[in-house]
């Protein structure tokens, strides 16, 4: 199941994740501005998937450009890049993919715009294909931590829908399940957008992986009563010291896990590790519309006019993180050294 793909007709197709689990709808986007809007409105979400969307968005910008020269094409791409960068500030994969596409355009040795456009489409496709390979490798490394009969707790959606295919945290679970290990997953509902209830539950049920949906505030009870063996979460940006930015509520889970002696792992591709940031204090935290909190779908659940604070992410300090699972292995403290090895080899 590919979350996003390039259509041979020169369009980008992606699953509209706002419609799940009640409807499975694939939308077709013709312009980079439509891709930017899809990222901002969470038609597509999840750091690796957003990275692929950004790359395909720039490929669309190149394809639709009327530029006659290389210089004009680069200017059009830079304009599109600014629009895409402005959509969501926390997920570093978005910026990583945009920068990779611009580097490809600037360094391509042939001046013909048609050749640059074709190579940018190819580069976006490479980013998408690499993501699947990376996720498979993440799953293989992470599955070594999963024992037969393991009870796993996860937050938000770090599955196939958050990537191009297969997932990050769910890649670990999928791989363990494919290896024949008996696993059970506790799925946080993940307020306010309910990515756990809507997306993670949908993915796991489709694949027949045993799971149980819980309210977010039930996680502490389960840990204290010994019903959680490991916590696996994704990350939208991980700082050089191992601080992890992930969906709001992750920090609370990490503190609960530490208190109850439950291992807590972030599961990330190395493209999500931002070595330029010394700590999570420098990670920009997106704030979203209060409507997400005051409404559940179309149902209003709070008084009209109530004041709302709606950060989309929080930062878990590295002291609560047992390890960070990547495609190149598992990083353990001290993260300043181990994460650098994971990124640079």
Q: C-alpha angle 92/133/333, rounded to 5°? A: 55
Q: Give me the catalytic one of 131, 188, 216, 236.
A: 236
Distance of CA 112 to the CA centre of its chain: 35
Distance of CA 134 to the CA centre of its chain: 13
Active site residue 216: no
Query: How far apart are the C-alpha atoms of 161 and 337, rounded to whole Å?
Result: 31
The SS3 assignment for 17 reads: coil
Q: Active-site positions?
A: 236
């Amino acid at each position: 199941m590919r979350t996003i793909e390039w259509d041979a007709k020169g369009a980008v197709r992606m699953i509209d994740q706002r419609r799940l689990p009640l409807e499975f709808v694939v939308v077709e986007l013709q312009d980079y501005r439509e891709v930017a809007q899809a990222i901002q409105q969470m038609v597509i979400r999840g750091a690796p998937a957003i990275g692929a969307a950004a790359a395909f968005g720039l490929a669309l910008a190149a394809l639709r450009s009327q530029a006659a020269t290389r210089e004009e094409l680069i200017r059009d791409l830079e304009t599109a890049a600014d629009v895409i960068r402005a959509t969501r500030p926390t997920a570093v994969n978005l910026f990583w993919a945009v920068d990779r596409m611009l580097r490809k355009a600037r360094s391509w040795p042939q001046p013909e715009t048609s050749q640059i456009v074709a190579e940018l489409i190819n580069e976006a496709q490479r980013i998408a294909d690499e993501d699947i390979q990376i996720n498979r490798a993440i799953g293989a490394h992470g599955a070594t931590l999963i024992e037969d009969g393991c009870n796993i707790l996860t937050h938000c959606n770090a599955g196939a829908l958050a990537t191009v295919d297969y997932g990050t945290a769910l890649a670990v679970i999928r791989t363990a399940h494919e290896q024949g290990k008996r696993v059970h997953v506790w799925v946080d509902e993940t307020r306010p957008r309910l990515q756990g209830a809507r997306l993670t539950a949908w993915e796991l049920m489709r694949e027949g992986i045993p799971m149980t949906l819980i309210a977010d505030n039930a996680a502490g009870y389960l840990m204290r009563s010994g019903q959680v063996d490991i916590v696996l979460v994704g990350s939208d940006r991980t700082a050089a010291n191992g601080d992890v930015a992930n969906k709001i509520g992750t920090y609370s889970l990490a503190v609960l896990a530490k208190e109850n002696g439950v291992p807590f792992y972030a599961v990330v591709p190395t493209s999500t590790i931002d070595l330029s940031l010394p700590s999570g204090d420098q990670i920009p935290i997106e704030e979203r519309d209060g409507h997400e909190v005051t409404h559940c779908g179309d149902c209003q659940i709070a008084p009209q006019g109530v004041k709302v604070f709606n950060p989309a992410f929080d930062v878990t300090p590295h002291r609560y993180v047992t390890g960070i699972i990547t495609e190149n292995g598992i990083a353990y403290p001290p993260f300043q050294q181990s994460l650098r090895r994971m990124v640079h080899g």
